[in-house]
A and B are shown apart, each in its own frame.
Chain A
Amino acid sequence: MSDQRVLTVDNVTGHYGDSHILHGVSMHVNEGEVVTIIGRNGAGKTTLLRAIMGILTKRGGSIVVRGQETIALPPERIARLGIGYVPEERGIYATLDVTENLMLPPRVAAGGMSLDDIYKLFPNLYERRRSPGTRLSGGEQQMLAIARVLRTGAKFLLLDEPTEGLAPVIVQQIGATIELMKRQGMTLILVEQNFRFASRLADRHYVMEHGQIVDVIDRAQVQARMDSIKSYLGI
């Protein structure tokens, strides 16, 4: 694995209205790594992803994406640096059908999958290609949200709770998709409540509490540190 930095987050602060959510977050992701952000509800994991994408408008500190400082950039410029975003609420457009949802995000880098390839990978989306996006089941919507960023050519993806509320068989399918992305050399940040799912995929885990990164656990340390992980997650 090369040590080339895809993302460097340094002392990032963030607010939602009047409430202060991120209190100086620092972390980094290298090329080809899968990194998770774990922690209890309300720790600020989703807010951190929103800060990286620039859709959290009140943010401070430094966020460098592939050598470019992005803290003052609008979201559309940040996305164009080659980031794909799969939001927690999935963000499927109700006024667009499945194909239109897939075609919506502009290509941000070369080498994205074609529509045909995507439909080969997700045959059930092909079946539903003319349905409005929000008529799909939760699992299909999640597939669509992931498939949508695969078309854009983005090699650095932010996935916010991709398995939340889904049946085990769908979770497996999503896990296989993420493994495929990893084999293709993509760089991923995964926010995940389901630690068993996350631990199989990730190279490194950042633990978040009260808007700060409080611990970093490498893949090799996971077994040895299971007790502290459990206490971090409250399980």
Chain B
Amino acid sequence: MSMQALFGQLLVGLINGSFYAMLSLGLAIIFGLLGIVNIAQGAFYMLGGFVTWMLLNYAGIGYFWSLLLVPIIVGLIGAAIEKTLLKRIYNLDHMYGLLLTFGIMMFIQGMFVHFFATAGRPYTVPSALTGGYNLGFMFLPKYRGWVVLASLVLCLVTWYAIEKTSIGRTLRAATENPTLTRAFGVNVPALMTIGFGIGVALAGAAGVLAAPIYPVSPLMGAELIITVFAVVVVGGMGSIMGAIVTSLMLGLLEGLTKVVYPQGSNMVIFVIMLIVLLVRPAGLFGRER
């Protein structure tokens, strides 16, 4: 095995891990605050990729503007869905949230398959991020490095906002005890709308970052979300830092497996999930309830 191949696969693993992190972070926020397992998270990621592609091809709006605009657009769509659909099922069993978001996913995905078919659409890497660096032991394409950096910054900013700011304090309180938090005068229903918006906006941002790497297709989210859910099970639902750390670790592990035992790379995360479920059902960073 060459060092080149090893570091190359570890980089791929780190990039995959970055996408897992952005998606599972959003899932953790949404589950904590709304008690909903958002199966549609992959569809919002796809929506992010597609809106990026549409902004460029229909409106001539480029990558960097998309990086700002698309999470806002996806977040607003999410907020509208929360306000009209999700808020109706909060007092029902978790299973209904799963079913409803599954339906939302099928709807969004189905619409895009209907109008755009399933073929992938290319999105060119922005010129400022083309090229790469020769690090000696490997070649690092600039855009790939950018994806890892951008997603790390996004995750850490989100973590900081939740753990260290007054808005995050209110968010944590509403997550832990929504009824009492309302009795203190906090508008928790509005906070839930915002929380869902932010959660899916993170998936939307991941979609923008993904557009130049993976072909933009209506099914791009469906492929990713299954692995992301395994990552979430390993990390434990509801822990912010746990979601980030687990995502990156499992992404790297997946990359490493591609080098030492390529046949196992698609299932290594699921094997880990199985072991974690047997040994620590609440997940590595989760708390037993």
Q: Is A106 at the interface (CB under 8 A from chain B)? A: yes
Least Cβ–Cβ distance between A93 and chain B, in angstroms: 5
Given contacts A85-B183, A108-B185, contact A91 B169 (CB under 8 A): no
**Subset of 5 A-B contacts with CB under 8 Å:** A103-B166, A104-B186, A105-B185, A152-B184, A152-B185
Q: Considering only CB atoms and an 8 Å cut-off, how many residues of chain A contact the other chain? A: 23
Q: Is A216 at the interface (CB under 8 A from chain B)? A: no
A93 touches B186 (CB 8 A): no
Least Cβ–Cβ distance between B78 and chain A, in angstroms: 22
Closest to B184 in A: A105
Contact of A91 among B175, B177, B185, B186 (CB under 8 A): B177
Which of A74, A85, A95 has the most C-beta atoms of chain B within 10 angstroms of its own C-beta? A95
Closest to B180 in A: A91
Least Cβ–Cβ distance between A11 and chain B, in angstroms: 23
A55 touches B179 (CB 8 A): yes
Least Cβ–Cβ distance between B222 and chain A, in angstroms: 33
A103 touches B169 (CB 8 A): yes
B177 cross-chain contacts in A, Cβ below 8 A: 91, 93
Could you tell me the distance between the alpha carbons of A96 and B163 in the complex, rounded to whole angstroms? 9
Closest to B188 in A: A76
What are the nearest 3 A-B pairs in CB distance?
A79-B185, A105-B184, A75-B182
Could you tell me the distance between the alpha carbons of A54 and B188 in the complex, rounded to whole angstroms? 14
Known contacts A79-B185, A85-B183; 8 further A-B pairs (Cβ under 8 A): A76-B187, A79-B182, A85-B180, A95-B173, A95-B175, A104-B173, A105-B185, A152-B184
Least Cβ–Cβ distance between A157 and chain B, in angstroms: 12
B166 touches A75 (CB 8 A): no
Contact of B183 among A79, A93, A96, A103 (CB under 8 A): A79
Contact of A104 among B169, B179, B182, B188 (CB under 8 A): B169
The chain B residues found within 8 Å of chain A, CB to CB, are: 166, 169-170, 172-173, 175-177, 179-189
Could you tell me the distance between the alpha carbons of A183 and B187 in the complex, rounded to whole angstroms? 32
A105 cross-chain contacts in B, Cβ below 8 A: 184-186
Q: Is A87 at the interface (CB under 8 A from chain B)? A: yes
Given contacts A93-B172, A103-B169, contact A87 B180 (CB under 8 A): yes
Q: Is A37 at the interface (CB under 8 A from chain B)? A: no
B172 touches A96 (CB 8 A): yes
Q: Is A217 at the interface (CB under 8 A from chain B)? A: no
Could you tell me the distance between the alpha carbons of A78 and B179 in the complex, rounded to whole angstroms? 13
Q: Is A208 at the interface (CB under 8 A from chain B)? A: no
Which of A54, A78, A79 has the most C-beta atoms of chain B within 10 angstroms of its own C-beta? A79
Contact of A106 among B172, B175, B186 (CB under 8 A): B186
A213 cross-chain contacts in B, Cβ below 8 A: none
A104 cross-chain contacts in B, Cβ below 8 A: 169-170, 173, 181, 184, 186
B170 cross-chain contacts in A, Cβ below 8 A: 104
B166 touches A74 (CB 8 A): no
Could you tell me the distance between the alpha carbons of A87 and B184 in the complex, rounded to whole angstroms? 11
Given contacts A100-B169, A103-B166, A104-B169, contact A74 B182 (CB under 8 A): yes
A108 cross-chain contacts in B, Cβ below 8 A: 185
B182 cross-chain contacts in A, Cβ below 8 A: 55, 74-76, 79
A93 touches B184 (CB 8 A): no
Could you tell me the distance between the alpha carbons of A103 and B186 in the complex, rounded to whole angstroms? 12
Interface string of A8-37 (1 = CB under 8 A from B): 000000000000000000000000000000
Least Cβ–Cβ distance between B271 and chain A, in angstroms: 32
Least Cβ–Cβ distance between B236 and chain A, in angstroms: 14
A76 touches B186 (CB 8 A): yes
B189 cross-chain contacts in A, Cβ below 8 A: 74
Q: Is A80 at the interface (CB under 8 A from chain B)? A: yes
A95 touches B187 (CB 8 A): no
Least Cβ–Cβ distance between A113 and chain B, in angstroms: 16
Could you tell me the distance between the alpha carbons of A231 and B182 in the complex, rounded to whole angstroms? 37
Least Cβ–Cβ distance between A51 and chain B, in angstroms: 12
Q: Is A94 at the interface (CB under 8 A from chain B)? A: yes
Which chain A residues (145-185) contact chain B, with CB distance < 8 Å?
A: 152
A79 touches B184 (CB 8 A): yes
